[in-house]
């Protein structure tokens, strides 16, 4: 059967995507060091705390013994620190206020590139996307057999990817309100004040982590050639499939 | 017979293709609605496609691995001193950026009295050594225009300056906040009464030419165990007070009696309690928490 190479991800998108991964990881890790200086958030219903950030098991993970080996034996050295939370607020702040520049600049370049290259057409949802995203979810849960028609991404992906970009913007904006609550008092007051800006900043982080978990699971399910396309930019597709209008690329 | 079957199969496939095409072009395809284009090479054999892909994979993964290793080992190979100096210089860069956008006319929000956090949280004991008698306290002021020695002031002399009240949010660097009502003297009123020296020895004019003043203020507790440095624009902000009352009461010892700094322009670590000496200075003053890796500026 005849094949075609399809260019799926431009070079810029691939670099911006992969560079964002360690940057976001550093923002979350340094954010945790800051949070641990005053760990107050939890999920409360009628004054009863269902879940506290973070519960004791979060720190116990690194102590679990597997036939003489502990989880941190397989992980970087810092994972040991989970079991014995150090008071490292100064380090957390200095790392956070260094990597914030790189995280924000990387994000801004990504958004600008997406707009000017036309890549936004593959990522943004339209009003009908919400209905189709439900069908995609039902398909992923093996409840319905057929996937709705799609381009590079299905409608659930469009909503997820657009949301995570908006979350990134939200983290930068709430972060600015916490960083300069006097000079940007108008921004903090838009969020209901400094305390609420801080609360939103924290919850956005939790949702980044949830996005990351779902993203990795979906990438594993989608398989190797999909993952490879995020590294090389290309994927192999069947040539005899009817094609909608397309641009020729050199392979 | 087998020929007929083949024709039939062809027909079925063609119909299938037409159906697929119809679905790709359907109005409920977001990609179609937004005119998303595919980028495809010309058709080739499976073998050729696989060969081309292998070449691309090798290149892509090698470049990716090289970039990842450079990042990881680059960060690891950096000595702790290099890392700390990089982070300190980033704080200083951030300070410069903040000063470009700084406007003294912007104010921190004030709160109604019913929102005051009671009792006010007590935090920070450095510089609060035992055996201190607020009744015999005096304030030394150095770096004034027209004199080289310290001026010594009593609390009554400070209270004689215009009184200012404000109810603002105190933000701790740890992440918690409390709403506190303060009363005291605006630092800018204090500096107008006791003029700081200037860089070039010209007459100080804190209203029209604050940029001619020496750029820093140092403040130290009487036992010299706690000390902070402030930049001139932040200390002259209208919400920076030399406070002698908290929530309508004279400052108790644990909140910095008899005189402390109160200001929503910086974190609590900069709002020194029990001030013993104030000095206007051209050199960046040392700072207790900056020495422990915190941001010297810590400005809001």
Nearest to B173 among A5, A89, A245 (CB): A89
- The predicted pLDDT at position A100 comes to 97
Q: Mean pLDDT over residues B213-228, rounded?
A: 95
- The predicted pLDDT at position B9 comes to 76
pLDDT digits (tens, 9 = 90+) for A116-130: 999 999 999 999 889
CA closest to B18 among chain A residues: A242
Name every chain A residue with its beta carbon within 8 A of the beta carbon of B300: 180-183
- The predicted pLDDT at position A102 comes to 96
Going by pLDDT thresholds of 50, 70 and 90, the confidence category of residue A249 is: confident
- The predicted pLDDT at position B299 comes to 93
Q: Mean pLDDT over residues A218-224, rounded?
A: 92
Nearest to B87 among A1, A94, A249 (CB): A94
Going by pLDDT thresholds of 50, 70 and 90, the confidence category of residue A238 is: confident
Q: Are A188 and A181 in contact (CB under 8 A)?
A: yes
Q: Mean pLDDT over residues A176-199, rounded?
A: 95
- The predicted pLDDT at position B18 comes to 62
Interfacial A residues in 98-157 facing B (CB < 8 Å): 98, 101, 118, 121-122, 124-126, 128-129, 132, 148-152, 155
Q: Please list the alpha-helical segments (H only) found in chain B.
A: 2-24, 30-33, 46-77, 80-101, 155-159, 187-193, 232-235
pLDDT beyond 90 at A151 = no
Q: Mean pLDDT over residues B243-251, rounded?
A: 95
- C-alpha B183/C-alpha B165 separation (Å) is 4
Name every chain B residue with its beta carbon within 8 A of the beta carbon of A6: 38-41
Rounded to whole angstroms, what are the CA distances from A50 to A53, A55, A199? 10, 10, 17
Contacts of B98 (CB under 8 A, 6+ apart): A180, A183, B297, B299
Q: Mean pLDDT over residues A138-167, rounded?
A: 90
Work out whether strand B38-40 and strand A246-248 pair parallel, antiparallel, or are unpaired.
Answer: parallel
Q: What does the mean pLDDT of chain B come to? A: 90
Nearest to B28 among A6, A37, A149 (CB): A149
Closest by CA position to B194, among listed B213, B175, B177: B213
- The predicted pLDDT at position A128 comes to 85
pLDDT beyond 90 at B270 = yes
pLDDT digits (tens, 9 = 90+) for B10-20: 777 776 666 66
Hey, are the CB atoms on A248 and B41 less than 8 Å from each other? yes
Question: Is the omega angle on the peptide bond into residue B223 within 30 degrees of 0, that is, cis?
Answer: no
Q: CA of A250 to nearest chain B CA: how many angstroms apart?
A: 6
CA closest to A89 among chain B residues: B174
Nearest to A6 among B30, B40, B91 (CB): B40
Hey, are the CB atoms on A5 and B106 less than 8 Å from each other? no
Range with the poorest average pLDDT among A41-50, A69-78, A202-211, B240-249: A69-78
Name every chain A residue with its beta carbon within 8 A of the beta carbon of B298: none
Give bridge partners of residue A247 from the DSSP assignment: B39
- The predicted pLDDT at position A13 comes to 95
Q: CA of A47 to nearest chain B CA: how many angstroms apart?
A: 20
Q: Percentage of residues in chain B with pLDDT exceeding 70?
A: 95
Top residue of A232, A235, A241, A245 to mutate, by most chain B CBs within 10 Å, is A232
Q: CA of B39 to nearest chain A CA: how many angstroms apart?
A: 5
pLDDT digits (tens, 9 = 90+) for A28-40: 989 988 988 887 7
Top residue of A78, A151, A158 to mutate, by most chain B CBs within 10 Å, is A151
Nearest to A1 among B37, B46, B295 (CB): B46
- The predicted pLDDT at position A86 comes to 57
- C-alpha B123/C-alpha A236 separation (Å) is 63
- The predicted pLDDT at position B43 comes to 87
Hey, are the CB atoms on A180 and B109 less than 8 Å from each other? no
Q: Considering the domain A3-39+87-238, what is its CATH architecture?
A: Up-down Bundle (1.20)
Q: CA of A3 to nearest chain B CA: how many angstroms apart?
A: 5
pLDDT digits (tens, 9 = 90+) for B19-53: 665 555 567 888 888 888 888 888 888 899 899 99
- C-alpha B183/C-alpha B168 separation (Å) is 11
Going by pLDDT thresholds of 50, 70 and 90, the confidence category of residue B2 is: low
Q: CA of A32 to nearest chain B CA: how many angstroms apart?
A: 12
pLDDT digits (tens, 9 = 90+) for A50-87: 888 877 777 666 667 777 776 666 666 555 555 555 57
Going by pLDDT thresholds of 50, 70 and 90, the confidence category of residue A217 is: very high
Start-to-end Cα distance in chain B: 86
pLDDT digits (tens, 9 = 90+) for B138-158: 999 999 998 899 999 999 999
- The predicted pLDDT at position B273 comes to 95
Report the complex ipTM: 0.85
Top residue of B16, B26, B32, B36 to mutate, by most chain A CBs within 10 Å, is B36
CA closest to B87 among chain A residues: A94
CA closest to A151 among chain B residues: B31
Q: What does the mean pLDDT of chain A come to? A: 87
User: In chain A, where are the structural domains located?
Assistant: 3-39+87-238
């Amino acid at each position: 059967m005849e094949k075609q190479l399809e260019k799926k991800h431009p070079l810029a998108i691939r670099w911006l995507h992969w560079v964002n991964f360690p940057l976001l990881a550093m923002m979350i890790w340094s954010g945790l060091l800051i949070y641990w200086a005053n760990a107050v958030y939890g999920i409360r219903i009628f004054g009863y705390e269902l879940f506290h950030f973070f519960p004791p098991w979060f720190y116990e993970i690194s102590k679990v013994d597997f036939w003489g080996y502990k989880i941190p034996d397989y992980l970087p050295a810092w994972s040991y620190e989970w079991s014995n939370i150090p008071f490292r607020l100064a380090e957390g702040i200095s790392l956070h206020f260094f990597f914030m520049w790189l995280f924000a600049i990387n994000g801004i370049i990504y958004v600008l590139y997406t707009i000017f290259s036309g890549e936004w057409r593959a990522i943004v949802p339209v009003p009908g996307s919400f209905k189709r995203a439900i069908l995609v979810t039902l398909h992923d849960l093996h409840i319905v057999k057929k996937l709705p028609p799609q381009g590079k991404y299905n409608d659930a992906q469009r909503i997820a990817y657009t949301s995570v970009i908006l979350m990134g913007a939200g983290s930068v904006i709430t972060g600015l309100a916490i960083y300069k609550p006097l000079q940007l008092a108008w921004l903090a007051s838009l969020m209901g004040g400094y305390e609420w800006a801080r609360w939103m900043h924290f919850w956005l982080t939790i949702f980044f982590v949830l996005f990351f978990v779902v993203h990795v699971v979906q990438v594993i399910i989608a398989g190797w050639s999909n993952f490879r396309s995020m590294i090389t930019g290309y994927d192999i597709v069947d040539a005899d499939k009817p094609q909608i209008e397309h641009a020729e690329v050199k392979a | 017979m087998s020929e007929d079957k083949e024709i039939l199969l062809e027909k079925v496939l063609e119909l299938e293709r037409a159906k697929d095409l119809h679905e790709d072009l359907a109005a409920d395809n977001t990609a179609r609605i937004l005119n998303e284009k595919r980028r495809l090479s010309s058709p080739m054999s499976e073998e050729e496609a696989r060969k081309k892909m292998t070449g691309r994979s090798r290149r892509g993964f090698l470049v990716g691995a090289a970039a990842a290793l450079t990042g990881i080992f680059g960060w690891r190979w950096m000595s702790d001193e290099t890392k700390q100096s990089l982070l300190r210089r980033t704080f200083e860069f951030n300070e410069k950026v903040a000063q470009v956008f700084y406007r003294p006319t912007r104010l921190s929000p004030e709160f109604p009295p019913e929102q005051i956090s009671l009792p006010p949280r007590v935090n920070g004991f450095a510089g609060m050594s035992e055996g201190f008698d607020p009744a015999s306290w005096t304030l030394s002021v150095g770096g004034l225009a027209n004199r080289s020695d310290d001026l010594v002031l009593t609390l009554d002399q400070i209270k004689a300056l215009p009184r200012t009240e404000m109810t603002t949010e105190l933000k701790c660097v740890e992440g918690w906040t409390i709403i506190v009502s303060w009363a005291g003297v605006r630092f800018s009123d204090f500096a107008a009464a006791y003029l700081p020296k200037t860089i070039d020895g010209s007459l100080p004019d804190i209203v029209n030419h604050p940029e001619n003043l020496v750029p820093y203020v140092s403040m130290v507790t009487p036992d010299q165990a706690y000390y902070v440095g402030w930049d001139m624009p932040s200390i002259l902000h209208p919400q920076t007070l030399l406070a002698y009352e908290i929530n309508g009461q004279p400052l108790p010892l644990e909140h910095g009696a008899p005189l402390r700094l109160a200001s929503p322009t910086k974190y609590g670590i900069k709002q020194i309690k029990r001030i013993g000496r104030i000095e206007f200075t051209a050199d960046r003053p040392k700072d207790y928490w900056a020495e422990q890796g915190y941001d010297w500026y810590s400005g809001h």
